[in-house]
Amino acid sequence: MTLSFLRPPPTDMLRNFRRLYLDIVGYGILSGSILAFLSVYAAHLGATSFEIAMLTAGPAVVNLLVSLPAGRWLEKEPIVQATYLTSLWSRVPYILLALGPLLLGLPVQMALIIAVSLLISIPGTALAIGFNAMFAEVVPPEWRGRVVGWRNVLLAISVTLTSLACGLLLDLIRFPLNYQIIFALGTFGALLSSAALGRIWNSATAPPPSARARPVGDLARPGSASFVDAIRQAAGLRWLTRSRGEPLLRLDLLRGRFGLFLFSYLLFYIFQYVPIPLFPLFWVDGLHLSDGVISLGNALFYTSMTVASIGLAGASRRFGHRAVLVGGAMLYALYPLLNGLARNAFLFWVASLAGGAVWALVNSGLVNRLMELVPEKDRPAHMALHNLALNLGILVGSLAGPLLAAVAGLGRALLLSAGLRLLAGLFLLVWG
């Protein structure tokens, strides 16, 4: 049993920890502003559900095409420097979003938003892979619990305060100047995060990264333009940098138990993303919620997610990773169900509060169950297949949502998607 919590870390290691803390504060500002409100802004622009779906479907296509080459490239590069460079390349384009409301007419801005999300996704894919590998390299296993714990606390604080501040600004300042200020704030947070990553160095006192992979438990998912209830998994991505030249895409692994297991994950990801493009349209056009009301919902979601994540280790030890996953996946239907039933802000806030806590269960269960079943000696190829299933699920689910809404309407589509999420939990019960 480690006693690292009783002694301070070496000085060079402590500097890296502090920079990781500053990184998460910047990322929280980005998440509570641009990532939380970009789809809402698109709804204010009059975007269709298909256009909003492109904010998740487009990056999923990019990830499918780029992730394996990015893993090969990162395998040959100094991981700390590569993480900084990819973070910078993926954050600078946010400046275009801040300038968009000032320079472009409203009809052109939706095309700009989609283009920027695609542009960010190319280096963002490498960032998601590289950050995981970098974190494992600069934070020794005995210190990860402490560092991740503080990062999650700082993420919750920065996201909550930023989201509430943005909601206040959006309600007080006229449109679209209010969103230009919000996007400028998010760009500042993104660049602050990159600046912190740029000051991280390989610690002379840190041991080489362990060959045994354990879920880091960090709630941040750098590199993806993810929104509330659409937080992407980064589990195991660092193994794409450790293939040692061996083939990463091995379809023979789909035979037998792992194939059915991965198929249940694919169905879960599809059904998870079906309602994602519908939420902002339903909030803006269906419930007519103000931006301040939506910001409070975002803050409730992230806060309850963080609080619930604190007790997940004990729940996993008591009930097992599979039980946590299946239970969380079935309860995951609550978020679209309560949103679909909402007629005012109150039930929307209840959905946000419940949704964040449930997502903490699902997030933990997905990661831990995956790592539990994947053999340690063959993790790069298994994780490559999981990454393929994840992004294929995002793509199919994001495009299916608008089709479902076109047939059933926004409200009914959310209720039907709740049923699909419950069905995904049943598939995980059988094959997960």
DSSP calls for 120-135: HHHHHHHHHHHHHHHH
* Domain co-membership, 199 together with 310: no
**Relative orientation angle of helices 291-310 and 345-373, to the nearest 10 degrees:** 40
Which residues of the chain have a pLDDT value below 70? 1-7, 105-106, 202-249
Among residues 30, 200, 59, which one has the least CA distance to residue 130?
200
Read off the CATH number of the domain in which 112 is found.
Answer: 1.20.1250.20
243 found inside a domain: no
Q: How far is CA 362 from CA 17, 84, 180, 334, in A?
A: 27, 30, 34, 13
Among the three residues 174, 203, 232, which one is the final residue of a domain in this structure? Answer: 203
Among residues 23, 53, 14, 9, which one has the least CA distance to residue 403?
53
Residue 90, CA atoms < 13 Å, CB-side half-sphere: 29
* Domain co-membership, 149 together with 269: no
Please report which residue ranges of 139-208 form alpha helices under DSSP H. Answer: 141-172, 177-198
Q: What is the DSSP secondary structure assignment for residue 10, as one 8-state letter? A: P
Return the amino acid letter for 119.
Answer: L
360: how many CB neighbours lie within 10 A of its CB?
A: 23
1: how many CB neighbours lie within 10 A of its CB?
A: 3
What is the model's pLDDT at position 386? 86
Among the three residues 169, 203, 237, which one is the final residue of a domain in this structure? Answer: 203
Among the three residues 143, 175, 203, which one is the final residue of a domain in this structure? Answer: 203
313 found inside a domain: yes
* Domain co-membership, 264 together with 172: no
What is the model's pLDDT at position 214? 54
Report how far residue 248's alpha carbon sits from residue 251's, in angstroms, rounded to the nearest whole number: 9
49 found inside a domain: yes
418 found inside a domain: yes
* Domain co-membership, 51 together with 160: yes
Spatial contact of 317 and 364, defined as CB atoms under 8 Å apart: no
Q: Which two tokens stand for residue 91?
A: 């954050």
* Domain co-membership, 265 together with 155: no
* Domain co-membership, 303 together with 174: no
112 found inside a domain: yes
* Domain co-membership, 175 together with 82: yes
218 found inside a domain: no
pLDDT in tens, 3-22: 444 467 777 788 899 999 99
Return the amino acid letter for 264.
Answer: S
Domain count, the chain: 2
Spatial contact of 352 and 300, defined as CB atoms under 8 Å apart: yes
* Domain co-membership, 389 together with 299: yes
What is the model's pLDDT at position 314? 77
Q: How far is CA 383 from CA 233, 256, 297, 373, 388, in A?
A: 11, 17, 33, 11, 8
Apex CA 60: angle with CA 295 and CA 312, to 5°?
55
2 found inside a domain: no
- pTM for the whole structure: 0.87
* Domain co-membership, 153 together with 272: no
Q: Which two tokens stand for residue 386?
A: 């999981």
Looking up tokens 């290691």, which residue turns up? 13
* Domain co-membership, 191 together with 256: no
* Domain co-membership, 392 together with 296: yes
* Domain co-membership, 177 together with 264: no
Residues spanned by the domain of 90: 13-203
213 found inside a domain: no
